[in-house]
Structure 1
Amino acid sequence: MRLRLVPAETNFNFFRYARATFGASVVAMVLSIGIWLAMGLNFGIDFLGGTTLRVESSQEVVVADYRAALEPLGLGDVAITEVFDPTFEAGRNVAMVRIQAQEGQESVAADTVNAVEEALGSSFGGALSVSFDTGTWTQEAAAAALADAGIAAEIPTGDTSTLRLPAGLPLGSWQQIVDVLGTDQPTGSGVSFAYEGMTFPSVESVGPKVSGELIMTALLAVGVSLAAILIYIWLRFEWQFSLGAVAALIHDVVLTIGVFSLLQIRFDLATIAALLTIIGYSINDTVVIFDRLRENLRKYKKMPLQDVMNLSANETLSRTLMTSGTTLLALLALLILGGDVIRGFVFAIFWGVIVGTYSSIYVAKNVVLMIGVKRDWSKPDANAGTQFSNIDA
Structure 2
Amino acid sequence: MEIFNNEKVYDFMGKRIPFLGLSAILLIASIFFLTTKGLNFGIDFAGGTIVQVKYDQKAPIDKIRDVLNDTEYKGSSITEFGSPQEVVIRITGSSSNLKNDIGDQMHKILDSTGNFEVRRVDMVGPKVGGELREKGIMALGLSLFVILIYVSFRFEWRFAVASILALAHDITIAMGAISLFSVEVNLDILAAILTLLGYSLNDTIIVFDRVREGIQSSKETELSSVVNESVSRTLSRTTLTSLTTFFVVVTLFAFGGEIIHGFAFTLVVGIIVGTYSSIFIAASFLVQLKFSVTNFRAKEADKLKRQKEKEKMRAMYEKGTV
Q: Same fold (TM over 0.5)?
A: yes
User: Shift of the alpha carbon at 1:369?
Assistant: 0.9
Q: Is the 8 Å Cα contact of residues 43 and 50 (structure 2) preserved in structure 1?
A: no
Please give the residue correspondences for 1:370-385 in structure 2 after superposition, counting only pairs within 5 Å: 370-373=288-291, 374-376=295-297, 377-380=300-303
In structure 2, the residue corresponding to 1:327 is in which secondary structure?
helix
AA partner of residue 17 (structure 1): K
Q: 1:303 to 1:272 in 2, by over 3 A?
A: same
AA partner of residue 106 (structure 2): V
User: Shift of the alpha carbon at 1:111?
Assistant: 9.7
Alignment-derived partner of residue 285 in structure 1: 203
AA partner of residue 260 (structure 1): I
Aligned residue among 39, 45, 51 for 2:37:
39
Aligned residue among 60, 64, 85 for 1:73:
64
In structure 2, the residue corresponding to 1:73 is in which secondary structure?
helix
Alignment-derived partner of residue 148 in structure 2: 230
AA partner of residue 303 (structure 2): P
AA partner of residue 239 (structure 2): L
Please give the residue correspondences for 1:128-167 in structure 2 after superposition, counting only pairs within 5 Å: none
User: Moved runs in structure 1, 4+ residues, more than 4 A?
Assistant: 63-72, 77-81, 108-115
Aligned residue among 305, 313, 320 for 2:223:
305
Aligned residue among 1, 24, 27 for 1:26:
24
Alignment-derived partner of residue 100 in structure 1: 90
The answer to whether the aligner puts 1:334 opposite 2:276 as a matched pair is no
AA partner of residue 35 (structure 1): F
The answer to whether the aligner puts 1:206 opposite 2:124 as a matched pair is yes
Within 1, Cα distance between the matches of 2:290 and 2:55? 59
AA partner of residue 25 (structure 1): S
Report how many residues are paired.
281
Runs of 5+ consecutive residues of structure 1 not aligned to the other structure:
56-62, 82-96, 123-168, 174-194, 382-393
User: Shift of the alpha carbon at 1:204?
Assistant: 6.7
**TM-score in terms of structure 2 length:** 0.77
User: Shift of the alpha carbon at 1:308?
Assistant: 0.2
Q: Is the 8 Å Cα contact of residues 48 and 100 (structure 1) preserved in structure 2?
A: no
Q: 1:247 to 1:234 in 2, by over 3 A?
A: same
Q: Is the 8 Å Cα contact of residues 285 and 320 (structure 1) preserved in structure 2?
A: yes
Runs of 5+ consecutive residues of structure 2 not aligned to the other structure:
66-75, 305-322
AA partner of residue 100 (structure 1): R
Q: 1:261 to 1:296 in 2, by over 3 A?
A: same
Q: 1:268 to 1:38 in 2, by over 3 A?
A: same
AA partner of residue 171 (structure 1): T
**Deviation string for 1:148-186 (max 9, x for gaps)?**
xxxxxxxxxxxxxxxxxxxxx63399xxxxxxxxxxxxx
Please give the residue correspondences for 1:180-191 in structure 2 after superposition, counting only pairs within 5 Å: none
Select the structure that is richer in helix: 2
The answer to whether the aligner puts 1:350 opposite 2:250 as a matched pair is no
Q: 1:338 to 1:205 in 2, by over 3 A?
A: closer
Alignment-derived partner of residue 71 in structure 2: none
User: Shift of the alpha carbon at 1:34?
Assistant: 1.1
User: Shift of the alpha carbon at 1:321?
Assistant: 0.2
Within 2, Cα distance between the matches of 1:77 and 1:246? 40
User: Shift of the alpha carbon at 1:16?
Assistant: 2.3
Within 1, Cα distance between the matches of 2:95 and 2:90? 7
AA partner of residue 379 (structure 1): D
RMSD: 3.3
The answer to whether the aligner puts 1:170 opposite 2:88 as a matched pair is no
AA partner of residue 301 (structure 2): S
* Greater Rg over alpha carbons, structure: 1
Aligned residue among 314, 319, 325 for 2:232:
314
Alignment-derived partner of residue 117 in structure 1: 107
Q: 1:231 to 1:322 in 2, by over 3 A?
A: same
AA partner of residue 33 (structure 1): I
In structure 2, the residue corresponding to 1:101 is in which secondary structure?
strand
User: Shift of the alpha carbon at 1:69?
Assistant: 5.1
Q: Is the 8 Å Cα contact of residues 196 and 270 (structure 2) preserved in structure 1?
A: yes
Alignment-derived partner of residue 166 in structure 1: none
Within 2, Cα distance between the matches of 1:31 and 1:375? 37
